[in-house]
Amino acid sequence: MELSSLQWVGSPCGLHGPYIFYKAFQFHLEGRPRILSLGDFFFVRCKPKDPICIAELQLLWEERTSSQLLSSSKLYFLPEDTPQGRNSDHGEDEVIAVSEKVIVKLEDLVKWAHSDFSKWKCGLRAGPVKLEELSKNGQKEALLKYRQSTLNSGLNFKDVLKEKADLGEDDEDSNVIVLSYPQYCRYRSMLKRIQDKPSSVLTDQFVLALGGIAVVSKNPQILYCRDTFDHPTLIENESICDEF
């Protein structure tokens, strides 16, 4: 991956001392341009022999004095990939978060990104909400509302969503989503309530009102997190930037 392929997407969203904060960045994964934005979930592998896990992008910034492009993410692992292993208390759609957020340079985060998630079989497939009757703009607005509500930041992602649409990422914005346990319970309850409803009423407004989530990707995998653990070897990863 060439460093020149890394670039910020959208306008800056904050300034503090030597740090400029951003909402998204663009990079190339296997020759294909991709955009990751705050709140996105994606698959990563921290080391070649490590298990695949899920990263949630939470902060992006540039350190102006050194021109370092940096990121902060939360990592989620399947219970069987944690020191304690899976037990009878773990749900089939459950993941466990690393207690400490990881700060890495963007160039290293991109190296972690994993495009082949075919072996990841866990997670509830989102549905059965039909979005064919919504316009593309309607889907974008639904996703925008969802993103703003989950981040609770008030950030405007319209410029980022436009860039994603220009890259053709509308249909595969995210393949995985991690919810809190209360959100997951509301989502499962919502699925029960709409399972016999006609498709004509399954709009984004209807689903959101019942506690669902607005997504435009095809069949994303829904998981939930309710616990954390201390990763025994992550601190030894040379890509971790403790100094920041």
Query: Rounded to an integer, what distance in angstroms lies between the CA atom of residue 216 and that of residue 51?
Result: 28
Answer whether residue 2 is part of any domain: no
Question: How many Å separate Cα 169 from the centre of its chain?
Answer: 14
Residue with tokens 């740090």: 19
pTM: 0.83
Answer whether residue 132 is part of any domain: yes
- Per cent of the chain over pLDDT 70 is 72
Answer whether residue 242 is part of any domain: no
7-21, 108-122, 133-147, 211-225: which has the highest mean pLDDT? 7-21
- Structural domain that includes position 93: 7-229
Strand 68-77, strand 124-125: pairing = unpaired
19 SS3 class: strand
Angle at 220 between CA 128 and CA 57, to 5 degrees: 140
Mean pLDDT along residues 173-202 = 76
| Contacts of residue 9, Cβ cutoff 8 Å, sequence gap at least 6 | 22, 23, 24, 25, 26, 35, 37, 159, 160, 163
Answer whether residue 235 is part of any domain: no
> Which uninterrupted H or E stretch holds 103?
strand 102-105
Short-list 121, 52, 122, CA closest to 93? 122
Answer whether residue 44 is part of any domain: yes
Tell me what pLDDT residue 105 has. Answer: 95
> What is the sign of the dihedral through the CA atoms of 117, 102, 35 and 39?
positive
Q: What does the block give as tokens for 144?
A: 């925008």
Q: Are 181 and 188 in contact (CB under 8 A)?
A: no
Query: Rounded to an integer, what distance in angstroms lies between the CA atom of residue 171 and that of residue 157?
Result: 17
Tell me what pLDDT residue 73 has. Answer: 97
19-33, 85-99, 184-198, 213-227: which has the highest mean pLDDT? 85-99
Answer whether residue 240 is part of any domain: no
Answer whether residue 243 is part of any domain: no
Answer whether residue 117 is part of any domain: yes
With cut-offs at 50, 70 and 90, classify the pLDDT of residue 100: very high
At 189, which CATH number?
2.30.30.490
Number of domains observed in the structure of the chain: 1
Q: How many helices (H) and strands (E) does the chain have?
A: 5, 13
